[in-house]
């Protein structure tokens, strides 16, 4: 395992949602580069490793990616087993594949380890089935935070009939609402906003497309949160009734 980087998903927060593989890799790690959204409780699985925070709070605001690359290079060249620990799944809005490509270009072996992504954890944890026979035949994961503002076809998403799970949407609720309404989605489409999914401080706010921005403001919704937009976002009562 030495001289290699493992890009490991730490899951959405609840340490019990870590994969067994993540736990095994962490136990053998010598250096762990940790993102902000990773619950520190996960680090109990790597008590002997050198833990280096590399998120914005870790002090590398300006060029985080270059800083992280340098660290991965330095420690793998020292023959260390390096874990790059990311929130959720490393390849869902996590730049995991970019880091693998970069490592490959520098001759460093890398391996990805799945994590449970926040959207899945948040929805299921609130009793929202992201797919539901006869109601939602698919699910689309999107980010509201795009670098060039042109890459998402919101009109197609509005008409697509799949459940939408929006990451990084808290600061963009107005834009998301306007784009989907303009694309023809109904104003009363159910929305669930789930903050701190899977953590003890998890909160959920149920709303509709037209009202989600005002409701989020009243609720003081904060990041990290995901939005679930679609018929299934109103499905909790039905699920609870089944389990009763």
In angstroms, rounded to a whole number, what is the distance separating the alpha carbons of residues 29 and 166? 33
Q: Which is nearer to ligand SAH, 12 or 190 (CB)?
A: 12
In angstroms, rounded to a whole number, what is the distance separating the alpha carbons of residues 13 and 182? 35
Could you say whether residue 167 binds ligand SAH (CB under 6 A)?
yes
Could you say whether residue 224 binds ligand SAH (CB under 6 A)?
yes
Q: Which is nearer to ligand SAH, 125 or 190 (CB)?
A: 125
Could you say whether residue 230 binds ligand SAH (CB under 6 A)?
no
Length of the chain: 244
H helices of 106-208, where?
A: 118-125, 154-159, 173-182
Q: Which of residues 111-130 bind ligand SAH (CB under 6 A)?
A: 117-118, 122
Q: Which is nearer to ligand SAH, 1 or 37 (CB)?
A: 37
Question: In this structure, what is the dihedral angle of CA atoms 143, 148, 151, 157, given to the nearest 10 degrees?
Answer: 50
Q: Exactly one of 56, 101, 153, 222 is catalytic; which is it?
A: 56
Q: Which is nearer to ligand SAH, 56 or 159 (CB)?
A: 56
The side-by-side arrangement of strands in the sheet containing 81-86 is: 50-53, 31-34, 81-86, 4-9, 109-113
Sign of the CA dihedral running 3, 53, 201, 196? negative
Nearest to 9 by CA among 1, 21, 44: 21
Please identify, among the stretches 19-27, 54-62, 192-200, 236-244, the one whose residues bind ligand SAH according to the rule CB under 6 A. Answer: 192-200
Q: Which of 135, 168, 234, 239 binds ligand SAH (CB under 6 A)?
A: 168
Site track for ligand SAH across 132-151, x = CB under 6 A: --------------------
232 pairs with which residues across the strands?
A: none
Tokens (6 digits) for 47: 């008590």
- The catalytic residues are 35, 56, 168
* Residues within the interface to ligand SAH (CB under 6 A): 12-13, 37, 86-89, 92-94, 117-118, 122, 167-168, 194, 196-199, 223-226
């Amino acid at each position: 395992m030495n001289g290699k980087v493992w890009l490991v998903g730490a899951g959405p927060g609840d340490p019990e949602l870590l994969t067994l593989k993540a736990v095994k890799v962490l136990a053998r790690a010598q250096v762990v580069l940790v993102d902000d959204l990773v619950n520190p409780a996960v680090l109990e699985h790597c008590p002997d490793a050198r833990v280096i925070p590399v998120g914005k709070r870790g002090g590398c605001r300006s060029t985080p990616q270059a800083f992280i690359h340098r660290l991965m290079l330095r420690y793998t060249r020292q023959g260390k087993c390096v874990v790059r620990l990311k929130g959720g799944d490393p390849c869902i809005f996590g730049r995991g594949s970019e880091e693998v490509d970069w490592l490959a270009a520098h001759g460093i072996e890398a391996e990805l380890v799945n994590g449970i992504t926040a959207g899945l954890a948040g929805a299921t944890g609130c009793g929202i089935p992201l797919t539901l026979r006869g109601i939602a035949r698919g699910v689309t994961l999107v980010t509201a935070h795009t670098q060039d503002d042109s890459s998402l076809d919101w009109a197609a998403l509005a008409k697509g009939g799949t459940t939408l799970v929006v990451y990084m949407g808290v600061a963009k609720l107005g834009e998301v609402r306007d784009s989907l309404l303009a694309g023809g989605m109904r104003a009363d489409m159910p929305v669930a906003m789930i903050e701190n999914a899977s953590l003890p401080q998890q909160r959920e706010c149920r709303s509709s497309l037209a009202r989600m921005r005002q409701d989020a403001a009243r609720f003081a919704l904060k990041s990290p949160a995901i939005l679930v937009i679609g018929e299934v976002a109103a499905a909790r009562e039905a699920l609870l009734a089944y389990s009763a």
